[in-house]
Amino acid sequence: MEGRLLFLCAMVLCISIAAMSVHCEYHKENPHHGHMKEKKTHLHFYLHDILSGKKPSAIMVAHTKTLIGINFATPFGTVYAIDDPLTEGPEPTSKVIGNAQGLYVSSAQDILSLVMYVDFAFTTGKYNGSSLSVFSRNPVMEGDREIAVVGGRGKFRMARGFAELKTTYFNTTNGDAIIEYKVTILHY
């Protein structure tokens, strides 16, 4: 009798556990997501990518043994880590509003083109603590060009959009550059 009771208890326990696991889910719909209003934001700033001097904001972290495209300051296959200041104006003395941190890779053999993996973090003003994420090809030698904004955090949560770039200064000898960014994003 005790064996049957023990078996019955074990069966009830197994069925209860199985029934509970049926109702478990690996995701949950966010009931507030439908109530969040999508916003469109325009940003305008300058990025200072400095490879020269005593305190560069971009440094080479890897390169190939054979420097292909040696005519450029960033030969094909070269990888740079960056911590570039973002400013309100093109002058190096302009107010710093954030920084761009990440990597870029020289991705073409015959022209200067980069693939960028960069987080643009804002450290002052309305967007302090927020950032945009870029993952895109940047054909540097084109006058006006566009890169993709693929994400964001803080006030730019779920951002998507594009940035129009224009190089305002470029030193072909050392690779120093100042780039104007006009960014259009949709976010929540």
CB 132 within 8 A of CB 156: yes
Neighbouring C-beta atoms of residue 34, cutoff 10 Å: 7
pLDDT of residue 9: 63
Q: How far is residue 111's CA from residue 140's CA, in Å, rounded to a whole number?
A: 8
Residue entry with tokens 């001097």: 53
pLDDT of residue 42: 98
pLDDT of residue 11: 66
pLDDT of residue 119: 98
pLDDT of residue 29: 64
Could you list the pLDDT tens digit for every one of the 188 residues in the chain?
666 666 666 666 666 666 555 555 665 666 555 577 899 999 999 999 999 999 999 999 998 877 655 556 678 889 999 999 999 999 999 999 999 999 999 888 888 889 999 999 999 999 999 999 999 999 988 889 999 999 999 999 999 999 999 999 999 888 899 999 999 999 99
Tell which residue, 83, 183, 75, 70, has the closest CA to residue 136. 183
Q: Which CATH class is domain 38-187?
A: mainly beta
Render 147-159 in DSSP notation, one character per residue. Answer: EEEEEEEGGGTT-
| Contacts for 62 with CB less than 8 Å, ≥ 6 apart | 77, 78, 79
